Amino acid sequence: MLFCAAGHELTSAELTREEKDAISHRGKAMAEIAPVVAAALDS
């Protein structure tokens, strides 16, 4: 049995990295923290 993410007709293996990151809780967390980390490194 194959599972597809909600709103998608492709399996996880068929999604691009960008598509996976857009629906992944890890991808969302990284997108939120990236500006904070960048600002800290610029200080």
Domain boundaries, the chain: 16-42
d(CA 9, CA 38): 35
Closest listed residue to residue 5, CA positions, set 20, 25, 27:
20
pTM for the model stands at 0.53
CA atoms within 13 A on the CB side of 29: 3
pLDDT at 1: 56
Q: Report long-range pairs for 3-10 (Cβ below 8 Å, ≥24 apart).
A: none
User: Which two structure tokens, joined as six digits, stand for 29?
Assistant: 């967390």
The model's pLDDT over 1-43, given as tens digits with 9 standing for 90+, comes to 578 878 888 888 898 988 888 888 888 899 899 999 999 999 8
